[in-house]
Structures are given as structure tokens and as C-alpha cells.
Amino acid sequence: MPGDLYITGDAAADALLNDDFDALMIGMLLDQQVPLEWAFKGPFTLRARLGHLEPETIAALDEDEFVTVCCEKPAIHRFPASMGKRIRSLCAALTDEWDGHAASLWADGCDAATLSKRLRALPGFGPEKTKIFIALLAKRFAVRPDGWERAAGVFSDDEPRTIADCADEASLAAVRAWKAAQKAAGKDKQGRPTSA
């Protein structure tokens, strides 16, 4: 089932994210130290340069060759070399452990606690990114394993905190406004103080 994610400002880039879980997972991986729009347009940019977005084929590429693709202007990230290596590592993990498809992580109908463990084992997926990705799957793609609210934590609520809450221009604007307010208040996405 296609999702209803609205994020990049480019209809074709959003369509890729909504139709391809591998693209979505790469976008989530890139969502770090750059604006949401930049991170989630990365998969579309990569597909345009490579002619595909197949994890198995990316994993088989020479690392330096793939990093060069990621570093071409416009770069896919503020840190394109390190993120390129991380994308290739993610694709290798998907290939080696999940039949080359992100959706294989939840295709067996596992519960959210199991999905969380599987995601945490992937390169670049720490505790918060894992929670946000589970919320993103549930809210925008109707992938709702048992216990997803608990596994997603605060990101399961109705507060417009993250990519999981971006379904149209208005909700994207609400997420931006909420993040700005949190930053001004010295709080992170989970409402915790950012400094002691």
C-alpha cells in the first residue's frame, strides 16, 4: 500500500518514498544533521544517478565508487562521504539478512518489539531513529505491528514532531514550527531538555 508522505517539495521524489520501502529506509538513514527535505530527497537523487535503488546492487559496488556518486553536486547530505559509506553498509545488511528488501524486516508479521530489535541491528539506526521509523511506518504507511505505539514512544502521539507526521503542506509546516519552538525552549524531539 502506498504511503501519503509529503516532505521533499518534489512530487516525484515523494512518490518514490511512498512506493519504495528501500528508498524510505535510505531517506530515514540520511535524516541526521540536515533538513528533512534534503535527507528524504537523497534516495531520489541516488536513483537518478545510479539508474536504480536496489540494495543488492548498491552493496556490490566498490565503496569509493559509490561514495563518489554520493558526493557529486548536489551532494546527498552535508557529510556525503560518511553517509555514502553508511548507505552502502545498510544495503549490505539488507542484502545479507533481509533478502535485499527493507520490507522483509516486517513482512513476517512480527510484533513491534521484534521489529525494533531488527531495526536497531541495522547500520545507522539508533534508539530514536528506530522509534521514529516505526511511527513513520504506522502513521504514513499503515504498517502497524502489534505494540507499535509503545515501540514508537512519544512519536506515536498526535504532536507534529517528525517526518512521521508529514502528510501535506500544512502538517509539514506544523512539524517545522514545533521543532523551532522546541529548539527555542531548549528541548529535543522527545520533549527533553537539550542541556543540563
Assess whether pLDDT exceeds 80 at residue 187.
no
CB 35 within 8 A of CB 68: no
Phi-psi region of 9 (alpha: psi -120 to 50; beta: other; left: phi over 0): left
pLDDT of 195 over the 70 cut: no
pTM reported for the whole predicted model: 0.93
The 8-class DSSP code of residue 105 comes to G
| Mean pLDDT computed over every residue of the chain | 94
Average of per-residue pLDDT across 51-71: 97
> From CA 49, how far away is CA 70, in angstroms rounded?
9
Average pLDDT of span 41-66 = 97
**Do 26 and 90 form a contact (C-beta atoms < 8 A)?**
yes
Written as nine digits, the cell of 39 is: 535527507
Domain ranges of the chain: 11-184
End-to-end CA distance of the chain: 43
CATH code, 11-184:
1.10.340.30
- Region 137-161: mean pLDDT is 97
What is the average per-residue pLDDT within 20-37? 95
CA 141 distance to own-chain centroid: 13
